[in-house]
């Protein structure tokens, strides 16, 4: 299947560069471009892309506002947002994940890394740049919210283990290798955990794991 991508960046030259790169991949196609956050939301509702590559600093509505609107729309459940920005600050990472973004990477990445990032997000996994370290995510997301530790009671021990490993940044394949199970088994457990915790995607599962203290309790040294 071809991954349909919408580009949202206020710099036309960057949009053209990203389009040229993405269109070189046989499995990726750019279906639209937006020059600001408001247009990004409108085009996402019109085109229903698989992945929206979103800049943060844009006129009208910024990328974080646009991300929140897209992720809050039930009709756009299958459109995932990948934040691609020059500003990899701790606060932006936390705001992006809270808004519902599925990934956060810097514009300094290479061409192959960007293509892989789009594929990762399209397949329902979370992607964070090395700059968005686990400790920083935990510090900014471990704030009082409606996500209490009682939520974890609904999970089986295996689902709880999978959730913890997802929250530490491992992919399905990496979890499978660590636990000596198949990636299909990992995906099934993670999906059941997401359903029980009412997580929209893996990024929200990461947020819940940190907010409930699952990662800190399991690995208190982190």
Across the chain, which has 222 residues, the per-10-residue mean pLDDT values are 95 94 95 96 97 93 94 93 82 82 86 91 78 53 58 90 85 88 90 87 78 63 38
Q: Which pLDDT value is given to residue 124?
A: 81
98 near 206, Cβ under 8 Å? no
97 near 203, Cβ under 8 Å? yes
Token digits for 138? 């935990």
User: Which has the closest alpha carbon to 28: 92, 108, 166, 122?
Assistant: 122
Tokens 């389009």, residue located: 19
Q: Which pLDDT value is given to residue 220?
A: 40
Q: Which pLDDT value is given to residue 138?
A: 54
């Amino acid at each position: 299947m071809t991954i349909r991508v919408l580009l949202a960046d206020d710099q036309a030259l960057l949009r053209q560069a990203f389009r040229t790169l993405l269109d070189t991949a046989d499995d990726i196609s750019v279906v639209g471009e937006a020059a600001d956050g408001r247009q990004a939301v409108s085009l996402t509702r019109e085109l229903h892309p698989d992945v929206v590559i979103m800049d943060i600093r844009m006129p009208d509505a910024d990328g974080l506002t646009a991300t929140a609107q897209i992720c809050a729309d039930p009709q756009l459940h299958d459109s995932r947002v990948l934040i691609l920005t020059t500003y990899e600050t701790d606060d932006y990472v936390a705001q992006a994940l809270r808004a519902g973004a599925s990934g956060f990477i810097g514009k300094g990445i290479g061409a192959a890394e960007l293509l892989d990032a789009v594929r990762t997000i399209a397949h329902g996994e979370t992607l964070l740049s090395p700059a968005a370290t686990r400790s920083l995510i935990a510090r900014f997301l471990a704030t009082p919210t409606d996500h209490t530790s009682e939520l974890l009671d609904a999970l089986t021990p295996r689902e709880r283990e999978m959730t913890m490993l997802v929250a530490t940044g491992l992919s399905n394949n990496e979890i499978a290798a660590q636990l000596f199970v198949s990636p299909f088994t990992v995906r099934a457990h993670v999906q059941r955990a997401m359903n029980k915790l009412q997580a929209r995607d893996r990024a929200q599962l990461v947020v819940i794991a940190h907010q409930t203290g699952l990662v800190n309790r399991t690995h208190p040294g982190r």
